[in-house]
Structure 1
Amino acid sequence: MSEGTLPEWLTEEDDGSVTVSFKDMKRKPEIDGTEVSELRMREPSVMDQLSQEKKHRNKGDAEIALIANLTEQSPDAIQGLKMKQYNRCAVALAFFQSD
């Protein structure tokens, strides 16, 4: 992702959150038995990241927990995403960590 350029499926909102769209995917995520076409991820605070790093020794587990917290989903729901779906959430998280 080059500076200032977001993928078509990622939208920065006025409140600082981002919307991750799955509308262009053949298989949309299912969360609690419901097909989801997008997830909104709030902008994380430093405390959000630190608290997940303290709770989880494994970096992957901390990232899943952070994404779950920011999207108001359960960690199990995030773990249940397919890799292409999860990668979009990981890119959204990385957007917050860039300048």
Structure 2
Amino acid sequence: MNEGNKWIVEHDDGSVTVKFDDRPLMIDGTEVKSLLMREPTVNDQLIADKGTSSSPEGEIALIANLCEIAPETVRGITMRQYRRLQDALTGFMG
């Protein structure tokens, strides 16, 4: 899964840690240097697809659910940070 992305660390349970050491996230006023993303289930994908007709909104909902953060938090991060989360999610699908 981790195709050379030094910011993604895989764990034995299928989850990954996505690191933001160089540019930490700000979540509720707290600096966050990493997020744990659990491995998605088929049901997670179905819920994300059902909850919205927009593919980007569904992806945001899925990432938020897997990282246990609010979708609004995902919407507020930079595109560079979001791309890391997208890379982690894409790694589960490959």
Q: TM-score range by the shorter chain?
A: over 0.9
Q: Which residue of 2 aligns with 1:82?
A: 78
How many residues in Structure 1 have an aligned counterpart in Structure 2?
94
**TM value normalised by structure 1:** 0.90
**TM value normalised by structure 2:** 0.95
Q: Which residue of 2 aligns with 1:96?
A: 92
Question: In the aligned structure 1, how far is the partner of 2:24 from the partner of 2:17?
Answer: 15
The residue type equivalent to 1:21 in the other structure is K
Gaps of at least 5 residues in structure 2 are none
Question: In the aligned structure 2, how far is the partner of 1:13 from the partner of 1:36?
Answer: 19
The residue type equivalent to 1:9 in the other structure is W
The yes-or-no answer on 1:19 pairing with 2:17 is: yes
Q: Which residue of 2 aligns with 1:71?
A: 67
| Secondary structure in 2 matching 1:95 | helix
Q: CA deviation at 1:52?
A: 0.8
RMSD over aligned Cα, in angstroms?
1.2
Question: In the aligned structure 2, how far is the partner of 1:28 from the partner of 1:4?
Answer: 20
- Choose between structure 1 and 2 for higher RCO, CA contacts under 8 A separated by at least 6 residues: 2
State percent identity of aligned pairs: 48
Contact 2:2/2:8, CA 8 A, preserved across alignment: no
Gaps of at least 5 residues in structure 1 are none
Residues 94 and 30 of structure 1: CA distance in aligned 2, closer, same or farther (over 3 Å): same
Pick aligned residue for 2:34 from 31, 35, 38? 38
Q: CA deviation at 1:5?
A: 2.6
